[in-house]
């Protein structure tokens, strides 16, 4: 991917780095400074400084030990789901999830995601009509990963007017869990471009020897990978964005 990530070297210093270089920094860099605890979520999330070669950038670190146990998701797996969402987005060639890796940090193993420099006052509920094409791709992504927590504040707008989705710890459940604020396109036809990308992704899921699938199976359970493929197939067959289900279909709070 050639897209640059609008991140920062500190909270006051915006920084633009090519996607692949960000991945290298997250994978191999030193996490030796916690800037602080990010208090908006229900799980422990830390803003950290990552140093790699001549680069310094901010990362969002979610240690496994800081996850609050949930009744419906296997304990200690939320960080892996964060990394799996990034892996799926990469496989689709959809730059909608910031680069995210699993690695050891200051508080043990967890997910490390590139911090996206953004205006916190801009979110899904402030976006304009010209953002709809990006949001349609986000809606299709959430449908296949079965995102149970797409809040409005989980959609960040960077300096290039590009939308990134964050907080994917509640994804990939085998049972229907889709809860999102993005229902604008429910029942509408999915574009040929999105369907074409989904078909290529479906082909990847058929190849047991593909490196992507090997890596995905290390992050989520085999039955969850099977459920992912089922959802992709269903979307390809219906060629329409899903409708809200009869049960809970919106997260709370909405932002």
Q: Residue 40 — pLDDT band, cuts 50, 70, 90?
A: low
Q: Please report which confidence band the pLDDT of residue 248 belongs to, taking 50, 70 and 90 as the band edges.
A: confident
- E-only strand ranges, the chain: 4-10, 13-18, 30-37, 46-52, 55-63, 100-105, 108-114, 155-157, 163-165
Q: Structural domain boundaries of the chain?
A: 4-238
- Distance from CA of residue 165 to its chain's centroid? 5
Q: What pLDDT score does 151 carry?
A: 96
Instruction: Quote the pLDDT of residue 31.
Output: 93
Structure tokens at 12: 């006051």
Whether 147 and 179 have beta carbons less than 8 Å apart is answered as yes
Residue 1 — pLDDT band, cuts 50, 70, 90?
very low
Average pLDDT of the segment spanning 179-200 = 97
Residue 231 host element (H or E): helix 222-238
State yes or no: pLDDT of 205 exceeds 60: yes
Tens-digit pLDDT profile for residues 107-162 = 999 999 999 999 888 998 999 989 999 999 999 999 999 999 999 999 999 999 99
Give 118-127 pLDDT, tens digit per residue. Answer: 988 899 899 9
The pLDDT tens digits for 44-99 are: 999 999 999 988 999 999 999 999 999 999 999 999 999 999 999 999 999 999 99
């Amino acid at each position: 991917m050639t897209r640059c990530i609008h991140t920062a070297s500190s909270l006051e210093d915006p920084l633009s780095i090519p996607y692949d270089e960000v991945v290298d920094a997250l994978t191999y860099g030193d996490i030796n400074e916690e800037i602080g605890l990010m208090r908006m979520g229900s799980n422990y999330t830390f803003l950290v400084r990552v140093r790699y070669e001549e680069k310094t950038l901010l990362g969002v670190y979610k240690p496994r030990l800081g996850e609050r146990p949930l009744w419906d998701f296997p304990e200690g797996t939320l960080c892996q789901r964060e990394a799996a969402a990034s892996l799926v987005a990469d496989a689709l060639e959809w730059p909608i999830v910031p680069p995210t890796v699993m690695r050891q940090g200051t508080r043990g193993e967890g997910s490390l995601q590139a911090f996206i420099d953004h205006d916190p006052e801009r979110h899904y509920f402030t976006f304009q009509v010209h953002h709809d094409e990006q949001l349609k791709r986000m809606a299709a992504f959430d449908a296949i990963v079965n995102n149970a927590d797409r809040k409005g504040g989980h959609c960040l707008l960077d300096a290039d007017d590009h939308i990134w989705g964050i907080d994917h710890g509640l994804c990939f459940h085998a049972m229907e869990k889709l809860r999102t604020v993005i229902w604008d396109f429910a029942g509408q036809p999915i574009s040929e471009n999105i369907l074409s990308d989904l078909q290529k992704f479906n082909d990847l899921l058929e190849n047991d020897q593909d490196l992507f699938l090997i890596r995905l199976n290390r992050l989520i359970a085999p039955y969850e990978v099977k459920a992912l493929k089922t959802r992709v197939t269903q979307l390809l067959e219906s060629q329409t964005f899903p409708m809200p289900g009869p049960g809970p279909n919106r997260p709370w709070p909405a932002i």
